[in-house]
Structure 1
Amino acid sequence: MSEQSWGDDATIRTVLADTETWAVVGLSNNSARAAYGVARLLQRQGKRIVPVHPSGQSVHGEQGYASLADIPFPVDVVDVFVRSELAGDVADQAVAIGAKAVWFQLGVVDEDALARVRDAGLDMVMDRCPAIEWPRLGPAV
């Protein structure tokens, strides 16, 4: 697949506009990490963020969970801040929990996972960042 198929503008707009609950995998209280700032931006845009980190720590006032499977409510988007070699497993977990979309952050690329997620009927964005895409394509809030 080409990089262009990793997240066309229409899919990005849909994921940004038509979702509410974002599980952010790799989110911790480390303010130096990109996940911390992106989660804050998502909150400011009215999204509910759900920290997913092995520590299960709460971040930005939201209860954290150790895994996607531990989240006791529906998740719209699984936003993935892990290395590419780990991302495919997270994508499969996102499908298993019934998420509507998977978003792989900048530098996170797994074309096999992309194909599996799309074959399962979910939207997928790869190697993009909501903090960059929101000003460009996001809904006016």
Structure 2
Amino acid sequence: MKKITEILGLKEKESAAVAEKLNELLANYQVYYQNLRGFHWNIKGERFFVLHAKYEELYDDAVEKIDEIAERILTVGGAPLHTFEDYLKVSSIKAEKDKNDAASTMAAVLNNLEVLIKMEREILPVAEAAEDEGTLALISDYISQQEKLVWMLTSFMK
């Protein structure tokens, strides 16, 4: 039986590099997701109702992206990381602890998004070298969504 990359017409060596970069993104999304859960549970203050709902919306979105990224890794012939031990080793985003006010949680979210967007931009040329339109489309959509989200969140906090 042919390898999945062969069936899909993807370059095998380059697809392995895509899978590696996607695994790094997956690890960062997992930590970002957990940070959002903590902010959702622990937010306090006058912006509680708005941010409690917003953090839930954001972690629901993150969990969908986590699944899409893991499935994309499998699609390009890789194996997704799947333990928190591995995520913490690979992730540039750090777990946030004891943050419960609007300013500190929102600053952390924006910092996490900055890391994710930078990482996603780094995936684009790797996916292009693999002639991997599926990954290019997926990651380009994420970047577009997150750029708008950053604009909205920074506008909210002014």
TM-score (structure 2 length as normaliser): 0.27
Higher RCO (CA 8 Å, separation ≥ 6 residues): 2
**TM-score, normalised with respect to structure 1:** 0.29
Higher CA-based Rg: 2
Q: Which one has the bigger helix percentage?
A: 2
Richer in strand (by share) = 1
